[in-house]
Amino acid sequence: MKTTNSIFMKYESSGCSPSFVLSKEELLPDLDKFGVLVEIKACGLSLPLCDGINLCGVIRRVGRNRLPAGQDISGVVRGIGSDVITFKVGDEVTGIIPIDYEQSGCAGYVVVQEFDLAIKHNNVTFVDAAGCIGECVRSYLALHYLGHLVSGDTVLVINGASAFGSICIQLAHHWGAKVMTTCTTSDEKLYLQTLGQKIAHVIDMGDKSMLRATCMKATSNLGVNLVIDQRKSFCPQSFRNISDIDSNINKDEDFSSPSSHDIISCLAVGSHWITTNANLQLDPPHSRQLSMRCASIGFLFEQAWLLGSTQQGKYQHILMDVVEKLSTRTIRPNIHHTIGPDALLEAWQELGEVTVGKVVLTN
């Protein structure tokens, strides 16, 4: 069986934005005994939070050559393998396509494994499911499994208006944490204001000095227990001259984002700093500050849970809990806008300009 409109990403160098290749026709893999054929109804578009070159290396190590774009899907089951017991033909499902499947969620159909999916509730739309399933899984990993969040903790979410950041805010608030977040534009600030009491403080990064001051004031000078950091590394061409050393600014950071120094200065004793930046570099003074705080750094790469089988049980529980929270409106998806198949390639090329919410493809 063949499918249409698959998108694949190509990276020229570390930290750079990818180029996109549209494949008009792709051959689907055979349906094995645990396989599920899904007709795609919606797919969330998002660039990898981690470095693309590292992802390409992961793909090559598992014997694949192409990096598919669009992993967060929702759709209808059109075929099942002989040993599939969770789903039947006609079920509405949602899930994440592992990157080693070499299949794009932008296509008309995909073949995945039974444990990659969860039943979608009838009161959850295809767009809402695809628009936040990936972000919800990342948020669970960042907050619970890496950040060890407990009720009463104080959480700082960098760039809280993004699709991932907004889910982190909602989950952390639901689990009893006090949440602070940053914004850099008026659009981001406007969205964050719609979350109301879920956020204790919105920190405008137009004045970076406000970050530490606000965090310390809100925590009685104790610092925050958890930082969710989704800053990315940047293209070498965009780096400033690193001979102009500023102890407060590292070369892998954007002018509009807090520096590593800013983040470390906000941490409490025994705190956790969770980052998506695989190329994070710390100077010895920063390492010493972390050491004196007994703080830890955790690297967030959700595909590690999909590429290996050791966490399948926990992953299934996460998927089912996410769908339940969507159904009860505990989580509100942050959808920027939807597109049709005709605007697919253009939407991918302009995706880096979207800072609030997520773009979703509908078929």
pLDDT digits (tens, 9 = 90+) for 81-128: 999 999 999 999 999 999 888 899 999 999 999 999 999 999 999 999
Region 308-317: what's the mean pLDDT? 81
- Could you tell me the pLDDT band of residue 129, with boundaries at 50, 70 and 90? very high
Q: State how far the Cα of 220 lies from the Cα of 198, in Å rounded to an integer.
A: 20
pLDDT more than 90, % of the chain: 63
User: Does residue 245 have a pLDDT over 90?
Assistant: no
Q: State how far the Cα of 345 lies from the Cα of 310, in Å rounded to an integer.
A: 35
Is residue 137 domain-resident?
no
Give the Å distances, CA to CA, from 221 to 199, 215, 216, 269, 351.
Answer: 19, 8, 4, 11, 39
Is residue 23 domain-resident?
yes
State whether 127 and 21 are in the same domain. Answer: yes
Residue 273's DSSP bridge partners are: 227, 297
Q: State how far the Cα of 36 lies from the Cα of 166, in Å rounded to an integer.
A: 31
Region 138-167: what's the mean pLDDT? 96
> pLDDT tens digits, residue range 316-350?
999 999 999 999 999 999 999 999 999 988 999 89
> pLDDT tens digits, residue range 29-55?
899 999 999 999 999 999 877 666 667
Is residue 306 domain-resident?
no
State whether 77 and 18 are in the same domain. Answer: yes
State whether 162 and 194 are in the same domain. Answer: yes
Q: Read off the CATH number of the domain in which 179 is found.
A: 3.40.50.720
Whole-number average pLDDT of the chain: 87
* pLDDT value, residue 50: 67
pTM comes to 0.89
